[in-house]
Amino acid sequence: MRRLSGRGLSATPSPETKKSHLTRGLGRFMCQNTIALFTLFLAAGGTSFAAASYINGKQIKPHTIAKNRLTSKALKQLKGNRGQQGQRGPTGAQGTQGPTGPGASHLNASVAAPFGPRTVATLGPWGVFLTCNPGSPNALLTVHGPGSIGGTTSLASGGNPANTYIGSLGPIGAGADVAAVDAGAQMSQTLYLQTGSTLYELKHLLTATNVAGTVHCTVVGDAIPVS
């Protein structure tokens, strides 16, 4: 059938014709937009995959994530604030005396008069000798060797305060009597022995006592090489 329109005669398309036109239009659209549709499919599929593979905190077992898998911020949060300093512990027991250092020497002699002179220490090129006499001076310490000697001397006797003297370096020569005390007195010294580039430090305490008419002499000390 035909019907008249205001502009002229026109035929009304049949349903089959409309379906044919729609199919051809869809085909052209698919051909022209294949790449765009494929890209859209991948994007939608990737988002769905990421959402499907996401792991929340409830699915993580305790103590199963290594520290090297955590962010720096997460690592910082693992550390708490610094606590207050604890109380000082008790003092430990006294340790044993260490071995004598290289070149060091000990003086340790206790004898009764008459005694000596006898070597009580060897310090590099020097020898230290102790003499214990029944008469004055009761105890005598002598140094033999090259170079010079000098230092600080403190002398005390009879319970009186010690007197301290400072002596400059002087030649040892044939032998230097560096310390002499009678019974009831004691002398402490810090002496320096030097020859050329060799220098020793000698610290000692010399005492003398009279027990039942017998004089006893004691010397204790240490000597170390300085250079």
State the DSSP string of the chain. Answer: --EEETTEEEPPPPHHHHHHHHHHHHHHHHHHTHHHHHHHHHHHHHHHHHHHH---GGGSPTT-S-GGGS-HHHHHHTS-PPPPPPPPPPPPPPPPPPPPPTT-EEEEEEEESSEEEEEEEEETTEEEEEEE-SSSSSEEEEEESSSEEEEEEEEEETTPPPEEEEEEEEE-TT-EEEEEE-TTEEEEEEEEEEETTEEEEEEEEEEEEEETTEEEEEEEEEEEE--
pLDDT digits (tens, 9 = 90+) for 52-62: 555 666 667 77
pLDDT digits (tens, 9 = 90+) for 86-108: 888 898 888 887 765 666 888 99
For residue 8, pLDDT over 50 is answered with: no
Comparing 11-20, 104-113, 116-125, the range with the smallest average pLDDT is: 11-20
Comparing 41-50, 127-136, 172-181, 202-211, the range with the smallest average pLDDT is: 41-50
pLDDT for the residue numbered 56 = 64
Comparing 37-41, 120-124, 203-207, the range with the smallest average pLDDT is: 37-41
For residue 77, pLDDT over 90 is answered with: no
Rounded Cα–Cα distance for residues 56 and 125 (Å)? 83
pLDDT for the residue numbered 192 = 96
What is the overall mean pLDDT for the chain? 80
pLDDT for the residue numbered 26 = 58
pTM over 0.95: no
Mean pLDDT along residues 61-83: 76
pLDDT digits (tens, 9 = 90+) for 141-158: 999 999 999 999 999 988
Mean pLDDT along residues 46-73: 66
For residue 21, pLDDT over 80 is answered with: no
pLDDT for the residue numbered 138 = 96
Nearest partner of 130 among 144, 140, 138, judged by Cα: 140
pLDDT digits (tens, 9 = 90+) for 168-192: 889 998 889 999 999 999 999 999 9
